[in-house]
Structure 1
Amino acid sequence: MTSVSSSSADRSSAGRPEPVFTESARLQARLHELVPGGAHTYARGSDQYPEHMTPVIDHGRGARVWDVDGNSYVEYGMGLRSVTLGHAYEPVNAAVRAVLDRGLSFSRPSRLELDAAEDFLDLVPGAEMVKFAKNGSDATTAALKLARAATGRDLVAVADQPFFSTDDWFIGSTPMHAGIPATTRAGTLGFTYNDLGSLRALFDTHPGRVAAVFLEAATALHDPAPGFLEGVRELCTAEGAVLVFDEMITGFRWSAHGAQTVYGVTPDLSTWGKAMGNGFPVSALAGRRDLMERGGLRTDAERVFLLSTTHGPETVGLTAFRAVVEAYRREDPVTTMAVQGAKLAEGANAVIAAAGLADHVDVVGHPACLVFRTRDGDGRPSQEMRTVFLAELLRRGVLGQSFVISAAHTDTDVEQTVAAVEAALPTYERALTHGAASVLDGRPVAPALRATAAPRRL
């Protein structure tokens, strides 16, 4: 391991004052009094950031945010991957402002519901019908309900990928399953992504019982192996199961048309959300007409109660979606994210390698969905070292649990981030040598989905 001089860190952060979090700490404490967990999303919780360094955001523009103490940051993650065009992207905001005076929610469908459906189905050629909602979990649970109704089966096979729904059928398979009956938990079966044999084994073990197969076609760290998605498609067809692609992350990051178009495999149903509204709440379930019509009026079968939500068709979310579609027609944010992400990964990994720390920290993944991996002195994944890295980045004006980029990240933003990574390395090396506790002020971060509040209990 090559030694990194502290003078390099000093030069990289020269002229930048040490951030203070006085007001953020006050507001975070108040949030814990009023909101379970202190945030409305577990991934946004204070336990996901170093103790005493939990910024509460005041506003954002482009790829930057400002907290309530006035600290500014280059932000990554971008609203849990929901923002690809940048915060406060004016063409989307202008479209939303224009619709506000026309009313938001009515007792009958608005013209926007037709226009948005046409826009969506033009984007996703494998889908024949679409229904809008407000969050991704509603869409994925609706897909499972359709699959169960269409097949008359009860089980669902889920790839070993991080997240599909807040609802019981999925959360019951995670460590955070309190309150979910064992019978519900038993209905979800796991298989290994890129291992077709593991999925085939589920069908063999539970003949005639698997209603649906859920997976992301690709993830930040894993592309489909040659023939894998095609094999899943063939297996589902042969076994009579419904194939569902979760496009929450891949949609509008891999392509506006989804990963299904990138890899040339068409699912029976697909679920969408996050970046389709550039931060505005809108999600969608799309797929084959014969399946989707089970929730409509063109069926003689027993009807499915399918995504009947008060706010699903309100005009702001649908207008934002249509403005995002227009931005993707007019510009090329997917290519911009790929180019800027590649620059960031190359630059960060270069300074890490120069410091002799490549065995302990690196930046990897799809260019539009980068993550950093932190490892201890023995090369094992480490929450303690992750906390060290997060804290050092925060001190240098970089906020994020990942390096998930947007099309708003400029060369200047990337350069600041690479400089922050370089400046973080001396402290990272000290933590490797003397232990993370020697440089941390407080406890390390903890997995968002865990059975107890410990090790970050308040």
Structure 2
Amino acid sequence: MHTEHTERTTDVDLPRSRTANERLHALVPGGAHTYAKGDDQYPQDLAPVISHGRGAHVWDVDGNRYVEYGSGLRSVSLGHAHPRVTEAVRREIDRGSNFVRPSVVELEAAERFLATVPTAEMVKFAKNGSDATTAAVRLARAATGRPRVAICADHPFFSVDDWFIGTTPMSAGIPAQTNELTVTFPYGDLTATGELLDRYEGEIACLILEPATHTEPPPGYLAGLRELAHRHGCVLVFDEMITGFRWSEAGAQSLYGVVPDLSTFGKALGNGFAVSALAGRRELMERGGLRHAGERVFLLSTTHGAETHSLAAAMAVQTVYTEEGVTARLHALGERLAAGVREAAAGMGVGEHVVVRGRASNLVFATLDENGRPSQEYRTLFLRRLLAGGVLAPSFVVSSALSDEDIEHTVDVVAQACAVYRKALDAGDPTPWLGGRPVKPVFRRLA
């Protein structure tokens, strides 16, 4: 097993991971429990199966160590097995995890969340992001009596449920009538969104979007969207699964100063433990409660939604973020990484082909071909070289556990990858460097 970073000049060999992947595919549809973790997202025969992780590092079953980015689909922002989080979890596990009545931990977690996100008035916890976003859609439809949902077309994912997945290439099994109830609007374009709301006047229950992704919101955009939603009588929902904590522990809504009607949190909230949250205005949230005279809304009634140790993890995460200035550290690490990658790419003559984008705490990279178009083949080449250098990076999304040495090592490996990238560009064909089929997009109609 590697105990320190070593330069690898050839591809890493993963015989145990290959065997484990074959066993996974025989037992688990897709070979993973999240499509973004599938081995089709990695170069052929180079999809490591993880044994364990600590901090910013993971080890595969073959004994190779990697610096890991985008940990837990961006959920592990403090690093794996963070001591303050795991200690809080251990403490609650010994006290029981689920009861026939609410635990006092549910009260403490709600109080803590609403103190951390003061723009919300009520909160309800669940396990997955999709739980929360679908609950927001149901609540909006109930409150407005309207059938349609308007989603931001420029944001890649909102839910595994029919109202969203039916709009993707993987729409098999979802009735066309359901798909017709979801419409789209472009990010940053208030005029187009206003025209959509006019076209479906009185039909759209909510606008749902991520307040920011790889681009910052144009000046006045979110406030303008807030005003449009109010004028047309629809609910404004911010999906803060990614922006929550990474932008600010109080969410992007706090950073940008625009309060949505409802918002959804997850991912970094639990640092890898299963917890998500629907939060928002009391008037809307209480429709899923008992203290009103109206028709009841079935809102997030989940067996495991209030599992005590996951709520304890969430409270510990919020403590660490506020006491240790984690958001600022994520930005500082990301800025250093982005600068290093850009310098390495430019130095190897591929600065216009390996492109780092996004907020410093949420970096992604694009791999462009000789014509400047996104290329799965060049992504494959780039990922192969990163893996060979001990860097596992479907993105460059940082965790606060990264060290200066980790960043330096990553930049060195990126430079080596960019040297190969330049060779492929000069040859006009990356195929000799792929080692097999190219990586594939998650959303595609055929397997």
Q: Normalising TM by the smaller chain, what interval?
A: over 0.9
Describe how 1:319-398 pairs up with structure 2 within 5 A. Answer: 319-398=312-391
Q: Report the alpha carbon displacement of residue 297 of structure 1 after superposing the two structures with TM.
A: 0.8
Say which SS state the counterpart of residue 368 (structure 1) adopts: helix
The one-letter code of the counterpart of 2:355 is D
The amino acid of 1:438's aligned partner reads P
Quick check: 17-26 or 361-370, which moved more?
17-26
In structure 1, what residue type is equivalent to 2:40? D
Give the equivalent residue in structure 1 for 2:175: 181
Residues 9-43 of structure 1, C-alpha deviations (whole Å, 9 max, x = no match)? xxx96477752200000000110000011000000
Contact 2:79–2:400 at 8 Å: present in 1 too?
yes
- Which residue does the alignment assign to 2:165? 171
Query: Which residue of the other structure, out of 234, 255, 271, is the alignment partner of 2:248?
Result: 255
* Letter of the 1:134 counterpart: K
Percent of pairs with identical residues: 58
- Aligned match of 2:223 in 218, 225, 230? 230
Counterpart AA for 2:183: L
Q: Determine if the alignment matches structure 1 residue 121 to structure 2 residue 114.
A: yes
* Distance in 1 (alpha carbons) for counterparts of 2:318 and 2:221: 30
Give 3-state SS (helix, strand or coil) of 1:86's partner: coil
Question: Structure 1: which amino acid aligns with 2:196?
Answer: L
Shift of 1:363: 1.5
- Structure 1 letter corresponding to 2:394: Q
In the TM superposition, residue 124 of structure 1 has moved relative to its aligned partner by 1.2
Equivalent pair of 1:50/1:390 in contact (CA under 8 Å): yes
TM-score of the two chains, using structure 2 as the length reference: 0.97
- CA deviation string 1:192-212 (max 9, x = no partner): 000011111111111100000
Structure 1 stretches of 4+ with a deviation exceeding 4 A read 12-18
Asked if 1:190 corresponds to 2:220, the answer is no
Whether 1:106 and 2:106 are equivalent positions in the alignment is no
Contact 1:76 1:405 in 2 (8 A): yes
Letter in 2 for 1:269: L
Q: CA deviation at 1:372?
A: 1.1
Matched, 1:444 2:423: no
Measured in 2, the distance between the counterparts of 1:59 and 1:44 equals 16
Aligned to 2:235: 242
- Structure-2 residue corresponding to 1:400: 393
Unaligned runs of 5+ in 2: none
Amino acid at match of 1:274: K
1:185 alignment partner AA = N
**C-alpha deviation, 1:404, in angstroms:** 0.3
| Counterpart contact for 2:120–2:280, Cα < 8 Å | yes
- 1:67 is matched with which residue? 60
Partners in 2 of 1:140 and 1:158 — Cα distance?
11
The letter of the residue matching 1:383 is Q
Distance 1:145 1:311, change over 3 A: same
Distance 1:211 1:121 in 2: 25
Change (3 A) 1:188 1:371: same
Supply the distance in 1 between the matched residues of 2:199 and 2:323 (Cα, whole angstroms). 50
- Distance in 1 between residues matched to 2:15 and 2:313, nearest whole Å: 35
Structure 1: gaps (5+ residues) = 1-11, 454-458
- 2:186 alignment partner AA: T
Equivalent pair of 1:200/1:235 in contact (CA under 8 Å):
yes
CA contact (8 A) 1:295 1:306 kept: yes
Q: TM-score, normalized by length of structure 1?
A: 0.95
Aligned residues: 441
C-alpha separation in 1, matches of 2:315 and 2:350? 45
Aligned residue in 2 for 1:265: 258
Given that residues 66 and 72 in structure 1 are in contact (C-alpha distance below 8 angstroms), is that contact kept between their aligned partners in structure 2? yes
Q: After TM superposition, give the deviation of residue 433 of structure 1 in Å.
A: 2.7
Q: CA RMSD in A?
A: 1.1
Inter-CA distance 439–15: structure 2 relative to 1 (3 Å threshold)? closer
CA distance in 2, matches of 1:380, 1:399: 24
Structure 1 residue aligned with 2:49: 56
8 Å CA contact 2:348–2:422 kept in 1: the answer is: no
